Every structure is written in structure tokens, then in C-alpha cells.
Amino acid sequence: MPITVADVEEALAIEPEEIPGEYTDRDSLLYAVAIGMGKDPLDEKELEYVCETVGNRVVPTASSVLTNPSSVASNASKLTEKMNYVLMLHGEQRLQIHQPLPPSANTLISNRITGVYDKGEGKGALVTNETSVKLEDGSPLYTIGGTMFFRGDGGFGGSAEGAPVPHTLPDREPDSICELPQRKDQPMVYALCGDRNPLHRDPGVARQAGFDVPIQHGLCSYGIACHAVLKTMLDYDQTRMKSFDVRFSTPVFPGETHLVEMWRDDNIVSFRTRIKERDVIAINNGKCVVA
């Protein structure tokens, strides 16, 4: 059943419910390994993220997998259960970091839909959402935002006004490029962080979706871009990272080499990810605010 303007208004009006969550240092350590850190066992900068006897740093984009509620509560279900998930794409990911992530924590999590934008019949609809995470003492930890593109759900009579506008990259050659080769078995490890979508591991499911082989998790590529910015611009000091936003452009295949191109302007690091083997842009319009 197609969505209606009334469905959208109802979803936007629901007050989010705050529910408890938690994660452990196993989760934060596994994430760092899953995005490619720790390949050099003598690299002390990266060891601080993957070995607790060396350091206790947590990659900021681990927030995308550490948001683990103990129960499911969302204002998205009634709306999105009417939408066509087969034709859904993850369009954008946004992150605001309110304080450095601890290696483990008990949390309070709330989720809400922040907008639904009608691009028109045959052009799809955008759904934006926001998840706020606090420590159990009530202090804000991080806020995650996302844009989902439902290709089959446009033309329901809603407005297209107010949709997120992508960050504009500088019109000059990159100031720095970080080359990060990846492993072909990377989706097998990243799936253990919580995203078990078989599209990324099962060749049969990948073929049904139109791919010859399974594709890499988009949020894994997101983490790899964060790794590059930490390494190149921040000397691995994650406490200086305040936000990290991207737009996903092209699917990535496991084992491809990520060339993260970066521009530094005052406290803004702009970036994009180019796939070396195919010369395509996988992540675009990246913006990182640093202290």
C-alpha cells in the first residue's frame, strides 16, 4: 500500500522513546579491525585503536555499529513498512560527536524521523532520520543522521522542500591523498559488527540484486574514509573530530583500494573516496569538522 501525506504527518509527530543500550570494548575493537586498522602490528598509532594494552581510542564512526538498543522502538516502522525496501538505497550518513566515545558504555538511545521528501512520481522519496545517544548519566555522546532513498515511493503528494543539501568540495586539487588497500574478506569481518545483510556475503543474494559478486557495506567504506582522515589530518587523534558527513555514490567491491582525497580549510576537512581500480567516486561530498 503506497504511503500518504497522512502517514508522513503521523510519523513526524511521534515523540521518540528513550530506551537503554550498551556496547563493550569487544565491539569498539572489532570495528577498528573491520575497517582495516591494525594491519601493521608495530604501528603504535593504530594499535591504540585495536589493542587495549596500548591504548583505548575508539574510531568516531564506530557510532554506526555501537548504537545497540536492548529493545526496538522507532517511529519509522508504521511509515516505512508501507515503503518498498527492495528499491531502497542508503544515500547519506551524518555524525555529530559530542564527546569522545569510551571503549564501552551503557547508553540511552532515541530515534526519530526528521523528514520525508517527495521527489515526484517515478523519482522516489527521501526519508531522513536521527538517532541521539547519551551516556547513562544523561550527557550527550553522539547523534547519527541518515538519508534513505526509496526509489519506488515518490509521487505521494508531499513536498520536496527542505531536503539535506550536500557539502560542496573545493574546486582545486586535493591537499592530501591517503591510499588504503582493503581485503577481499572484509565484509565477513564487518558483518560481525552487526550488519548481517546477505547482500554483502552471499553471492546468490548479490546476483538477485544485480551484482556479479557481493558488494562491500557502505558503512564500512564510511569507516575507511574516517580512518584516512584520522591518519592524514589528525595524527590519529580522534578527540579532535567533531562531525563526519558523507554522501554514498557508487557501490564498492571487497578488496578494492580506497584513495581518500582531502582538502583542509581552517577547521573543515572536505573529502571524497575514489576507487583506484575503477576510477569511480564511491563516497562524495564528505565534510569533517575538526577542533
Other residues' Cβ atoms within 10 Å of the Cβ of residue 215: 21
**Contacts of residue 191, Cβ cutoff 8 Å, sequence gap at least 6:** 197, 200, 201, 217
Give CA–CA dist 109/142, Å, rounded: 10
Collapsed DSSP state (helix, strand, coil) of residue 243:
strand
| Contact by Cβ (8 Å): 72, 109 | no
DSSP 69: B
What DSSP string describes 5-37?
A: HHHHHHHHHPPPPPEEEEE-HHHHHHHHHHTTT
**Contacts of residue 46, Cβ cutoff 8 Å, sequence gap at least 6:** 32, 37, 38, 39, 40, 236
Catalytic one of 7, 118, 153, 200: 200
Active site residue 235: no
Cell numbers given for 249: 555514490
Count Cα neighbours of 188 within 13 Å in the Cβ-side half-sphere: 5
Strand 105-118 vs strand 19-23: parallel, antiparallel, or unpaired?
antiparallel
Active site residue 195: yes
Catalytic one of 25, 43, 175, 195: 195
Instruction: List, by residue number, the catalytic residues.
Output: 195, 200
